[in-house]
């Protein structure tokens, strides 16, 4: 996000945001940024069944910064069990814990989309002007964790379907901005990503491997995927005249 000095200069010039102000309040003078964590490992799920249909009270629990215990649990799961071990997401975001009667089964989070992505932009039909005007209508599934101890058939695809149903409406309620499209990535060097087609997501192609912040991010081959059909509450939201963005293309 930049050094405190740079952020203070932006605030002084009127270019700051509430998120930046919160970052300064929580981190000024504390040195390296540290996440709010649980302070202990999250308990392992109990009596997990072999099939997703047998999971009791499966749900997505929305997490906000005001819910201290849930927020720390989300951070702890991503920090200790997600391959990236990184829970930071900047900008607009919606986070969920995957809950059940058996315990916490995982975590996921939607955030700002990739700034430039040739397969996506070509699929939509965006030129640079339209991309800049409408890219805040695209959500990226930036974190998706199924806990390593969870072994359940059809589990990941079921959670992806639930996330596609919840992500758009919850984001719209929180920020007053209704998404038109969801995107996600698969590290093809480590995962096959078979849960995505099982949940009716489309594969649009390969990214260049750069993260959202450009060449400073690790170079990882990633395959872009989007849902082939989004919930009605999302697909009924149309771009303004002149935009070619669409969420239900097949």
Q: Are 78 and 167 members of one domain?
A: yes
Residue 245 CA to residue 133 CA, distance in Å, equals 11
Provide the pLDDT for residue 210: 55
Provide the pLDDT for residue 245: 30
Q: Which domain holds residue 20?
A: 1-34
Considering the domain boundaries, does residue 249 fall inside one? no
Q: Are 8 and 52 members of one domain?
A: no
Residue 146 CA to residue 97 CA, distance in Å, equals 10
Its pTM stands at 0.72
Considering the domain boundaries, does residue 47 fall inside one? yes
Provide the pLDDT for residue 19: 52
Decide: helix, strand or coil at residue 139.
strand
Q: Are 28 and 89 members of one domain?
A: no
Please say whether the beta carbons of 70 and 37 come within 8 A: no
Please say whether the beta carbons of 186 and 222 come within 8 A: yes
Q: Are 187 and 79 members of one domain?
A: yes
Provide the pLDDT for residue 8: 47
Look at the chain and report how many structural domains it folds into.
2
CATH number at residue 123: 3.40.630.30
Q: Are 110 and 2 members of one domain?
A: no
Q: Are 70 and 12 members of one domain?
A: no
Provide the pLDDT for residue 190: 78
Provide the pLDDT for residue 175: 93
Residue 26 CA to residue 33 CA, distance in Å, equals 9
Running along the chain, 250 residues long, what does each successive block of 10 average in pLDDT? 44 52 52 72 86 88 90 92 77 93 93 88 90 90 90 87 94 93 85 87 79 46 65 38 30
Task: Please name which of 192, 222, 226 lies closest in space to residue 210, comparing C-alpha atoms.
Answer: 222
Q: Are 46 and 16 members of one domain?
A: no
Provide the pLDDT for residue 33: 59
Considering the domain boundaries, does residue 245 fall inside one? no
Residue 133 CA to residue 137 CA, distance in Å, equals 9
């Amino acid at each position: 996000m930049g050094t405190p000095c740079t952020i203070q200069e932006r605030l002084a010039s009127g270019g700051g945001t509430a998120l930046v102000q919160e970052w300064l309040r929580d981190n000024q003078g504390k040195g390296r940024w540290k996440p709010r964590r649980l302070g202990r490992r999250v308990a392992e799920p109990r009596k997990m069944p072999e099939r997703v249909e047998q999971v009791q009270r499966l749900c997505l629990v929305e997490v906000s910064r005001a819910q201290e215990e849930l927020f720390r649990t989300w951070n702890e799961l991503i920090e200790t069990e997600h391959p990236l071990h990184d829970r930071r997401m900047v900008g607009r975001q919606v986070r969920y814990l995957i809950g059940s009667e058996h315990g916490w089964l995982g975590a996921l989070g939607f955030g700002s989309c990739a700034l430039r992505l040739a397969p996506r932009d070509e699929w939509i039909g965006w030129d640079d002007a339209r991309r800049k005007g409408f890219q805040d209508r695209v959500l990226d599934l930036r974190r998706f964790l199924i806990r390593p101890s969870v072994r359940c058939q059809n589990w990941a695809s079921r959670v992806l379907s639930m996330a596609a149903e919840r992500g758009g409406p919850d984001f719209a309620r929180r920020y007053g901005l209704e998404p038109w499209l969801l995107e996600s990535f698969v590290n093809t060097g480590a995962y096959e990503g078979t849960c995505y087609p099982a949940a009716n997501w489309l594969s649009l192609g390969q990214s260049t491997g750069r993260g959202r912040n450009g060449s400073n991010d690790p170079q990882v081959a990633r395959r872009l995927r989007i849902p082939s059909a989004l919930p009605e509450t999302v697909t009924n939201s149309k771009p303004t005249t002149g935009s070619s963005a669409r969420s239900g293309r097949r």
